[in-house]
Amino acid sequence: MLNKNNIYPVPGKVEWIGLRPDRESPQIEVQQIEAIVGKGLLGDRYSGKQGKRDVTLIQKEHLETVGQLLGKTTVHPSQLRRNIVVSGMNLVSLKGRLIRIGSTHLQVTGPCAPCIKMERNLGPGGYNAMRGHGGITAKVVKSGMISVGDSLEVIESPKVSEHESH
């Protein structure tokens, strides 16, 4: 039986990929990246660290929203320091789900809250503009490659609790 909570009419699409080599360096835009189980994204500052934040993703649609909240047309993905920008998919709805991007499988672990660096990167009010629009975090569960233009598809959803189904 198909669960109406697990329907995604179209796949998302990778629009941009960026790496953060270290804490203070500017983000580097790349066209392709290798994701490795237990290490995260090759070349990213979080690579090899333990935790639930191997990869960060944000919706392209939120770039314009954040920009408007700051009185700007849009913001550039590198200002937000997330790894992957995806269009066409409500990322918040993916919490707990297993997704495929390129040949990589990721387990979505939760929201990616903004940090105080948003004030520096976006200007006054940047932190508050990002609240609710910070994207998601994920853990690499199958190594592979992710490229700009790849689709994001849900391949497994968590069991819906009685509370969530109403």
d(CA 60, CA 28): 18
pLDDT at 160: 52
3-class DSSP state of 53: coil
Give the helix/strand (H/E) hosting 130: helix 126-130
Q: Mean pLDDT over all residues of the chain?
A: 88
The answer to whether the CB of 124 falls within 8 A of the CB of 40 is no
Domain parsing of the chain, residue ranges: 4-156
Q: pLDDT tens digit string along 5-59? A: 567 888 999 999 999 888 778 899 999 999 999 999 999 886 767 677 899 999 9
- pLDDT > 70? residue 164: no
The answer to whether the CB of 134 falls within 8 A of the CB of 108 is no
Global pTM reads 0.87
The answer to whether the CB of 91 falls within 8 A of the CB of 135 is yes
Q: pLDDT tens digit string along 91-103? A: 999 999 999 999 9
Q: Which CATH class is domain 4-156?
A: mainly beta
d(CA 146, CA 166): 36
Q: CA dist 126 to 16, 29, 75, Å?
A: 21, 21, 10
Neighbours of 31 (CB within 10 A): 10
